[in-house]
Chains A and B, each alone.
Chain A
Amino acid sequence: MSVALVREIAATHRGQRGALLPILHAVQDALGCVPPEAIPVLANELNLSRADVHGVVSFYHDFRSEPAGRTTVRICRGEACQALGAERLVSHLRDRCGMSLGETSTDGSLTLEQVFCLGNCALAPAAQVNGRLKGRMDEARLSSIVEEAVAQ
């Protein structure tokens, strides 16, 4: 991790009110995660305690301590997607790639996550693949997404 880069990101956003969240998002955008080593650097830059920064980082589900795989697939498990078989998709992933939600494959190609509502409730079940929303997801499409991810 580049300490200079983290300092630079902090400096860019420091002028904003309540800058910590925008800074953490920017760090994750740049490094793929918020590494534990970044916490004391940010605490120092923002004149906060390390506990304060750690507390914020660990509160929000978005911030990762390690980078995700090259492809991130998020399956929506909200009620609207449950009503059209979101759990079948979760089981399918487990059977197909032997991975549970929250895991990254050992070759670093794929991260599976759960999410609660992507705002696509009329076209359920929904998923998000590298930030892109997908609707009317089914087992076959999910398989081809996974295959493509693993091949990359």
Chain B
Amino acid sequence: MSALTAPVTVYVPRDSAARSVGADDVAEAVQRAAERHGRSIRLIRNGSRGMLWMEPLVEVATAAGRIGYGPVTAADVDGLVAEGLFDGAELPQRVGVVEELPWLATQNRVTFSRMGITDPLSPDDYLRYGGLVGLVRALEVSPAEVVTEVTDSALRGRGGAGFPAGVKWKTVLDCVDELKFVCCNADEGDSGTFADRMVMEGDPFLLIEGMTIAAYAVGATEGYIYIRSEYPDAVATMRTAIEIAHGRGWLGDSILGSSLNFDLHVRVGGGAYICGEETSMLESLEGKRGMVRAKPPIPAINGLFGKPTVVNNVLTLATVPTVLADGAQAYQQLGVERSRGTQVFQLGGNIKQGGIVETAFGVTLGELVDGYGGGTRSGRPVRAVQVGGPLGAYLPRSQFDLPMDYEAFVAAGAMIGHGGIVVFDETVDMVAQARFAMEFCAAESCGKCTPCRVGAVRGVEVIDRITAGEHRDENLALLEDLCDVMTEGSLCAMGGLTPMPVRSAISHFPDDFIARQPISPTSTLHISARTEGKP
């Protein structure tokens, strides 16, 4: 009898991807069904486990563990409850004990260790599952020792460039200035990436802890999280989490009773892709147009408002607490070659089982796409995958043996970037994708340097001439030359890397670059409508 009267804990994710396929309606239906069936439940809106094809994934706490049911629709709920959902009954949507699912169990969740398990806005959950251990340990040693720990962990910037985080931090620590900043780049604009969003929505205290450790390590007193406006849920969750953290003494003055003072602010972007570039983001934080700055000076020395500034991606900062908690050695033992630790890979696009796969570097592209991903959603063969966002290379199946390793990817003319993998089936038109890369660059270029601003427009024109059948070989040579100019002559990665998807498409899929019907006008971006001239 007590089993029936004790409240059952039921989890329905609050992650915006889960909500995008009806998690809110499911949560409401669960509550109503519980009332109707006279069952007492405790409904927790947890983060998502990252098995996004299974969303909305309802979990029920049982003696055997958390049993998952997914995907569940709001219409299913009443029937499921009648047939024993709250008791973990065997039902068609039942997937078993969630933590034992091979898809999850074979991962190595380091940065995402709490993801989907906890209520993201419960500071008690955070503490119960290992939160703040890293910060407490950092505050016990000197700032220089924290920097050494991060350096020894071999943690590299997860935003795409892969620059060693410890080296950057040491530069800022060595600068003598009363005012220093820690800035988190949460302008996750690359298509195919959503790990930053999931951290902010699913484990926001982790990011706060990571930034606080960074502030202590380099002597900063103020921090900014620059979140893209396309992520309203992440903005709201981070703001609430910061308020809660202040209330707990995790932010503000004398953090955890130490001498550390650190204030953290959320800033919202303006819908400009370029603001994911660190210097452009700094300009935007200063209230200006997001125009890229020439480097040097580097932001570590001359950053926000000219002050020494740590700029790191969400995943980098969210990994720091684990490095401090478990030690550099433990983190550094994972991975291969110069790519140490884990990467949070994101599987998206035309994929059967899309979501988050966090695992040590060295896993192959094929293991991710065919293994975890289960191939395409459409059921057709995979033709190409784009790794690393809109500026990353398109790779064919023949490259599926490539290990996920920064240097191995560079050697193959590709990049890991932020760990996003977008899958396309055999219907993809690679010349259209190459054209899109140029068009996107033309639309989103900040306009400061000529190779990017003008080169991208010329790139679209040259590709159009190729598909129109005008002097194919000469125009392909011209396109190669243009790619050289953009790669070598652009100020930042926007113009500098746009040639990567274009060139990889040409080299791996040359047969697509032939005369054909003009690319449909619906697939053009209306560049004119997006560029200046407003208001």
Contacts and interface: CB of A to CB of B under 8 A. Distances in A.
Interface string A53-73: 011111111111110000000
B288 interface: yes
B20 A84 contact: no
Contacts, number: 190
- Size band of the B side of the interface? 35 or more
B407 interface: no
A19 B433 CA distance: 38
A122 B191 contact: no
Nearest to B222: A17
B350 A83 contact: yes
Contact of B420 (A54, A63, A118, A121): A121
Nearest to A57: B535
Contact of B288 (A56, A94, A124): A56
B526 A102 contact: yes
Interface stretch (A1-9, A130-138, A144-152): A130-138
Interface in B349-378: 349-351, 354-355, 377-378
A133 B422 contact: no
B192 A79 contact: yes
A123 interface: yes
Interface string B54-80: 010000000000000000000000000
Nearest to A118: B230
B430 to A, nearest CB: 12
Contact of A22 (B20, B267, B436): B267
Contacts of B532: 58-59
Contacts of A64: 534-535
A65 B522 contact: no
Nearest to B289: A59
B185 to A, nearest CB: 14
B461 interface: no
A125 to B, nearest CB: 10
Given A119-B197, A123-B53, A135-B17, 4 more contacts: A34-B535, A84-B378, A117-B191, A135-B20
Interface of B: 16-17, 19-21, 52-53, 55, 188-194, 196-197, 229-233, 265, 267-273, 284-290, 305, 346-351, 354-355, 377-378, 386, 390, 420, 422-425, 428, 433, 436, 440, 444, 520, 522-523, 525-526, 529-530, 532-535
